[in-house]
Structure 1
């Protein structure tokens, strides 16, 4: 069933239907299904075969299910056209038999594992256009910014607490040194045992800012430890990791309703204003990019904030079509 156009293989779909995928894999399959009508039809066809397999209840005999599954495949597999039977080489029948045995074995082992792990299901939360706060099974609290998604097991049963994130979220992780908390976001891994931090992933760029505790951020073979007040920004085409000081608390505006600046560069303030107000502010004069701002905005309109910035730095604000330009 799989091919280069679908970017999904049968083994992954078997794991998905059996509840054996990781949170990141779960999100991957969900997004693949939703990507096109072709993918949806392929998934529906695969699921139909899965649903028609004899093992659908947990109290059924696993060995009997395996035998019935073999019979099911034999009875439903399409026979080759009669005109071709004489022409088929013995290797065809050997290959077919091997395929049937392989499929049966994979499904049987999967069913055995599912029976032993009845809690292998996932919770998916989509914040859509609202900020959403979710408490996880271990007591950790995640606040999702708008247009963000998290996926996690409904129970943390193994040696890790895995979570997959798309978008932005603030984490307050319940301490547990024996069971690290792992977040997968794109190709970046964040590992903690108990701390608070913000992760933001938009347009191929992932940013991690630590508020309390220590956070390990990894990509491929590279990793870095972040302490409170430090951040790392990772681009999709970048492997090296380097940390820097986080100036202010612009990152948690969606939690507090405040834009806290502490010698924060103007370009960072502009980026956040664009997100918060849906604006399109451009710094045309590059010499203004790193001008430091120390203040707290709360409850002001965008025009009021722009006025404060203009008065502070004696710059000109020009409105042109849908753009706001700093000159």
Structure 2
């Protein structure tokens, strides 16, 4: 990249270190590195974190084989243009590996920039896989991970902050410490607190933060908002503007309590939660129904029972009919 002031994507740097870039991408990164001393220093810091992360990532069972192969490639003494072509990893392997490495690098980057001694840094990784898991952090914070979620954090919080990194969904009960803020990195979103409870959900390029107690600061690039109890913010990957709104009910904590609590909750919010909880494919076939509010509590009921309650709740002018077409359920 010829412009020294133009940032480069971290994912591209990861691909560059793996030797997975195209010729055009290789030239792009090389030009960016050589454009300024600042860029070269940033690259060297990134590579240092990368090298530290390899030892950690290599300990994860699911990625052992792929990571070992990539580790050998990174440290080859052959110049990049003379390397023997090596078969590309399957897309699913690449995505999983890149996500793991970026997650590790995030925690290490935060830690390296806020630690003042020269002691070694160990990073703990918790992968909930297919079940809900609870983690007790060294500061007394308690984190409950939803299924298919990953949390990384330093073995000890030694600097001026308490940095962690999340993929997936988790409920945080952060131990109060005004002198050492608790910081969560979720992709390019930063959540900063000193002691509070809240839920973070990151799926399909969208990040949602809902506050239960205390005050939470959510930032993305130059935009930030402060949330208080009952408020939430939803950030799409390609959008930089953060706008908060009132959270009507508690649909987010089903994995914690087994309850879907609706408090004047619009159907347009309830339906996605039902699809996730029940693995269903419910759609609202009439746009006029989207903002209809429902107030009730669903607690470990069958999907059929839930649909019956919805249909019985709205009668008269707002009557809802449940129509099934194969695996699809349409609310009309």
| Residue deviations 1:251-300 (CA, integer Å, cap 9, x gap) | 11111111100000111111111111111101111111111010111121
Distance 1:188 1:201 in 2: 10
Matched, 1:318 2:319: no
Q: Is 1:256 paired with 2:272?
A: no
For residues 13 and 301 of structure 1, what CA distance do their matches in structure 2 show?
Answer: 51
CA contact (8 A) 2:266 2:291 kept: yes
- CA drift of 1:77 comes to 9.0
Residue 240 of structure 2 aligns to a residue whose secondary structure is coil
- 1:18 is matched with which residue? 52
Structure 1 stretches of 4+ moved >3 Å = 1-4, 6-14, 16-21, 33-37
Distance (Å, rounded) in 2 between the aligned partners of 1:140 and 1:158: 16
User: Is contact 2:116-2:159 (8 Å) kept?
Assistant: no
Q: Deviations over 1:160-193 (max 9, x none)?
A: 1001001110000000000000000011000000
Where in structure 2 are there 5+ consecutive unaligned residues?
Answer: 1-15, 30-42, 80-111
Partner of 1:246: 247
Measure the CA separation in 2 of the matches of 1:19 and 1:326. 48
Partner of 1:164: 165
Question: Is this contact kept in 2: 1:18–1:114, CA < 8 A?
Answer: no
CA change 1:44–1:258 in 2 (3 A) is: same
TM-score for the superposition, normalised by structure 1: 0.72
Aligned to 2:212: 211
Asked if the contact 1:182–1:189 (Cα under 8 Å) also holds between the matched residues in 2, the reply is: yes
1:257-276 matched pairs, under 5 angstroms: 257-276=258-277
35 and 320 in structure 1: CA distance in 2 versus 1, 3 angstrom threshold:
farther
The whole-number CA distance in structure 2 between the counterparts of 1:127 and 1:312 is 36
For residues 233 and 265 of structure 2, the distance between their equivalents in structure 1, rounded to whole angstroms, comes to 16
Q: Distance in 2 between matches of 1:208 and 1:199?
A: 5
Is the Cα contact below 8 Å between 1:190 and 1:217 reproduced in 2?
yes
Give me the whole-angstrom Cα distance separating, in 2, the residues matched to 1:115 and 1:257: 44
**What is the SS of the residue equivalent to 1:247?**
coil
- Within a 5 Å distance, the mapping from 1:282-301 to structure 2 comes to 282-301=283-302
Q: How many residues align?
A: 259
Deviation for aligned residue 1:114: 11
After superposing the two structures, state which structure 1 stretch, 10-19 or 238-247, moved more.
Answer: 10-19
Q: For the Cα contact (< 8 Å) 2:267–2:292, is it kept in 1?
A: yes
- What TM-score does the superposition give when structure 2 sets the normalisation length? 0.71
1:58-93 CA distance string (max 9 Å, x none): xxxxxxxxxxxxxxxxxx899xxxxxxxxxxxxxxx
Distance 2:52 2:20 in 1: 24
1:43 to 71, 74, 96: 71
What is the CA distance between 1:35 and its match in structure 2?
Answer: 11
3-state SS, counterpart of residue 275 of structure 1? helix
Are the counterparts in 2 of residues 19 and 121 from structure 1 also a CA contact under 8 Å?
A: no
| Change in 2 beyond 3 A, CA 1:283/1:116 | same
Q: Structure 1: any 5+ residue segments left out of the alignment?
A: 50-75, 79-109
- Relative distance call for 1:287 and 1:162 in structure 2 (3 A) is same
Aligned position for 2:306: 305
Question: After superposition, where does 1:41-80 map in structure 2 within 5 Å?
Answer: 41-46=69-74
Question: CA, structure 1 residues 219+289, in 2 after alignment: closer, same or farther (shift >3 Å)?
Answer: same
Match of 2:99 in 1: none
The residue aligned with 1:5 is: 21
CA contact (8 A) 2:152 2:166 kept: yes
Q: How has the CA–CA distance of structure 1 residues 261 and 14 changed in structure 2, closer, same or farther, with 3 Å as cutoff?
A: same
User: Is 1:227 aligned to residue 232 of structure 2?
Assistant: no
Distance 1:185 1:35, change over 3 A: farther
